[in-house]
Amino acid sequence: MTGRTRVRFAPSPTGPLHMGGVRTALYNYLYAKQRGGDFILRIEDTDSQRFVPGAEEYIIEALAWCGISPDEGVENGKMAETPSEKHPHAPYRQSQRKPLYRKYAEQLIENGFAYYAFDTSEELDAYRKEAEAGGDTFTYNYQVREKLATSLKLSPAETAERLSSGNHWVIRFKMPVDRIVKMTDLIRGDIEVNSSTLDDKVLWKAADELPTYHLANIVDDHLMEITDVIRGEEWLPSLPLHYMLYEAFGWAGSKPNFAHLSLLLKPDGKGKLSKRDGDRLGFPVFPLEWKNSEGEISSGYREEGYFPEAFVNLLAFLGWNPGTEKEIFTLEELSEAFSLDRVVKSGAKFNPDKAKWFNQEYLRMRDTSALANEFAALLNTKGISRPIAYIEQVVELIKERAHFVKDFWELSDYFFTAPDTYDQTVKNKFWKEETPSVLESIAKMLESLEPFTKENIEHSLSPFIKENGWQMGAVMNTLRLAMVGASRGAGVADIMALTGKQETISRIEKLAKS
RNA sequence: GGUCCGUUCGUCUAACGGUUAGGACUCAAGAUUUUCAUUCUUGCAAUAGGGGUUCGAUUCCCCUACGGACUACCA
């Protein structure tokens, strides 16, 4: 089969997109871009019960924030609803494609690959309970389908009557007996399953006239000419069903390739990463902040101060590596380097420390002026405003120490406000009886320093201390105490020069008098 | 329980039959910085266990253990 690579990301709008979901979208996108193909967004909202308002918008916005832009499906920030040259398969929301699916389900019945089933959910529950009591599991399959209320057992007349008398019926796939289904996964290789271990999945439900995932998914992938399906590992158990479905429709020849991605696991302990782990361990599990209907807020990478480029980069490395030692990749570089061959089979435990490291790397690469603008906005929320040139100089001095822009404040507060308290342990360590007079003489010396630059301060301060026979370490640390209030921060001369002569002298005198 | 998938330093991973099992994050030590951080150097640390196959197994096969997913008229 030749032709253009077409992949899709097909989430359900049942809540905010989890970072694992973003990774799946990213891998699809990278795969498509590398092969010059198309990345399609489709919304699988065939479960009216679990629909969550705002989830679809969230998905679109989250992908946009990451720079993962669908070639098809999204138009002006919304799902495309009418077919056009760019969106030939619109609508891309399955609830809007509703009329399309039933005929496919019925085609399967006509060809003997499916049947009508009339069991109510209460009856099914009862069967399950009964089986459980006997230590068994109830499976709707070849062993029961001809004993229960199905079109396989009932006469055509009876079936017709039941079909017309209500909507308590579904269409089920008639899973073949004892067939070895041979499958290939691009990441995992060959897999075989005996069809007898599988059940007769519901394909279509009359109650809401909607298909289930399995039917809608296969029909849409076929109609949308999807060539490669890259999805989460949770779908691997239904791969044989999907194979059989393609076969039953007569589409086996144009069936897409499949690749199943392993899960993202929680940083500690076992199991897959969940919203709770984020709350518990203090890192986001969602790309963007999300507020649920109860008003409960889940933090997002964007709001936590991650750069989208860093988020994408760290996500790409959770389950994939380029095979080289390069770790920092732009989205462009990722699409060049990406390959399913290098996707790891086993699940990846998420490591929040490494995530922070990625952001730090991006912060360092970022323009000082961009960082200064972001910091200025943050300062604004604190009611502080300074010329941007000043903020740029501050950023220059502290950016190496930060992981996030939001770290800037606690790393540089002393550039904006004089210390109002002094670290007592530092003070006790260096304070002597003559310290106030020493500080006064230094203030006086600095007073006459012109221009008040870092170099000038450095060149005069240290000889001055030596000439007077003072202890270098003690004096420098005391000056730092005057400027910062603690034993931290940029170089003393840097701080003095940037803060300015008057402010420097006033801080020194303030400490001298304390 | 059944079906399927998986298992290399604490974590992410490299090594696709032959390496002193490599790198990154974390942590520790030293140097630099008269602070803190940065930077640099060094260190700690792994092939789940048992059988095969092979001259040789992290790598191939089997068993066991452990982990995970699925087992809905949810996706």
Specify whether domain A366-412 bears CATH 1.10.40. Answer: no
pLDDT over 60 (residue A41): yes
pLDDT over 90 (residue A443): yes
CA/C1' separation A351–B10 (Å): 11
State which H helix or E strand residue A439 sits in: helix A435-447
CA/C1' separation A417–B41 (Å): 38
Separation in Å, CA A439 to CA A61, A144, A435, A454, A455: 56, 93, 6, 19, 20
Residue A135: its pLDDT value, please? 82
Hey, is A173 helix, strand or coil?
Answer: strand
Quote the mean pLDDT of chain A: 95
Average pLDDT over residues A452-456: 94
**CATH T-level assignment (fold) for domain A418-514:** Arc Repressor Mutant, subunit A (1.10.10)
CA/C1' separation A229–B20 (Å): 43
Name the nearest CA neighbour of A9 among A52, A64, A88. Answer: A64
Residue nearest B26 (alpha carbon to C1') = A353
Q: Which of A98, A275, A406, A454 is catalytic?
A: A275
Residue nearest B73 (alpha carbon to C1') = A205
| Dist. CA A175–CA A144, nearest whole Å | 12
CA/C1' separation A169–B45 (Å): 60
> Residue A327, CA: closest nucleotide via C1'?
B24
> Residue A125, CA: closest nucleotide via C1'?
B72
CA/C1' separation A124–B4 (Å): 25
Name the band, by pLDDT with cuts 50, 70 and 90, for residue A431. very high
The model's pTM is: 0.95
Residue nearest B70 (alpha carbon to C1') = A237
CATH number of the structural domain A96-215: 3.90.800.10
Question: What percent of chain A shows pLDDT beyond 90?
Answer: 92
DSSP A15-38: SSPPHHHHHHHHHHHHHHHHTT-E
| Dist. CA A264–CA A415, nearest whole Å | 42
Name the band, by pLDDT with cuts 50, 70 and 90, for residue A84. very high
Name the amino acid, one letter, at A325.
E
Provide the β-strand partners of residue A189.
Answer: A185
> Residue A270, CA: closest nucleotide via C1'?
B67
Dig out the tokens for A472 from the structure: 């270098």
Average pLDDT over residues A162-186: 95
Bases of chain B within 7 A of a CB of the protein: 1-8, 10-15, 23-26, 33-38, 67-75
| Dist. CA A175–CA A198, nearest whole Å | 7
pLDDT over 80 (residue A103): yes
Residue nearest B2 (alpha carbon to C1') = A197
Does A275 qualify as catalytic in the annotation? yes
Hey, is A123 helix, strand or coil?
Answer: helix
Residue nearest B13 (alpha carbon to C1') = A321
Where b means 16+ CB within 10 Å and e means fewer, A449-478 reads beebeeebbbebbeebbeeeebeeebbbbb
Question: What percent of chain A shows pLDDT beyond 70?
Answer: 99
DSSP label at residue A354: H
Residue nearest B15 (alpha carbon to C1') = A323
pLDDT over 80 (residue A52): yes
pLDDT over 70 (residue A2): no
pLDDT over 90 (residue A435): yes
Average pLDDT over residues A337-366: 96
| Dist. CA A437–CA A422, nearest whole Å | 18
| Dist. CA A37–CA A3, nearest whole Å | 9
Name the amino acid, one letter, at A327.
E
| CA-based R_g, chain A, Å | 32
| Dist. CA A181–CA A184, nearest whole Å | 10
> Residue A466, CA: closest nucleotide via C1'?
B34
Structural domain spans, chain A: 96-215, 366-412, 418-514
Residue A134: its pLDDT value, please? 84
| Dist. CA A105–CA A91, nearest whole Å | 20
Domains A96-215 and A366-412 share a fold: no
Name residue, tokens 């008398």: A165
> Residue A121, CA: closest nucleotide via C1'?
B73
| Dist. CA A265–CA A311, nearest whole Å | 17
> Residue A197, CA: closest nucleotide via C1'?
B3
| Dist. CA A399–CA A62, nearest whole Å | 27
State which H helix or E strand residue A230 sits in: strand A228-232
CA/C1' separation A270–B64 (Å): 21
Dig out the tokens for A341 from the structure: 């061959």
CA/C1' separation A365–B59 (Å): 39
CA/C1' separation A347–B6 (Å): 8
